[in-house]
Copies of this chain bind each other. A is one copy, B any other.
Amino acid sequence: MHESLTIGQLATRSGVAPSALRYYERLGLIRAERTGGNQRRYARTELRRVAFVRISQQVGISLEEIREALDSLPSARTPTTEDWARLSLTWRERLNEKIRLMTKLRDDLDGCIGCGCLSLQRCTLYNPGDSLAGEGPGARLVLPPNGRGADPA
């Protein structure tokens, strides 16, 4: 009955759209067996992989990086609690760093409200290379890839 999951079931249980699950599979984030009729059947352990993907996204990690992390899991055996804990720990550091940067941004913002500057030069607010938010998806956010900017001297 619930030996394995259809894509619809995995979608419902993970809160991730089927199209996204197929996309994740293309990227190598999750895997599926196939039925005789070529339909995907997911092992229950894939739920944990999906969970890891979504949580990682919340930390601001790109799918490519998540894939690399997942690739470091043992492929021979089903990953253990320790395996997952190890992965989560690396994210934890990233998360802490993000929290630190955002806290700094908030405090700097407070300071700038006080002094009324809001200036690129005087404030520590505009510290390029950090990219606090929006690390995940689209375009290069805080600093463009070209050499322009980077030193607000």
Contact = CB atoms under 8 A, between A and B. Distances in A.
Contact of A109 (B54, B91, B113): B91
Interface in A1-54: 11-17, 20, 47-48, 50-52, 54
A89 B106 CA distance: 10
Nearest to A18: B148
A51 B134 CA distance: 17
A76 interface: no
Nearest to A96: B106
Given A57-B142, A88-B112, 16 more contacts: A13-B121, A14-B152, A15-B151, A48-B118, A51-B125, A57-B133, A57-B141, A58-B131, A58-B142, A59-B132, A60-B132, A81-B116, A91-B109, A96-B106, A99-B102, A134-B135
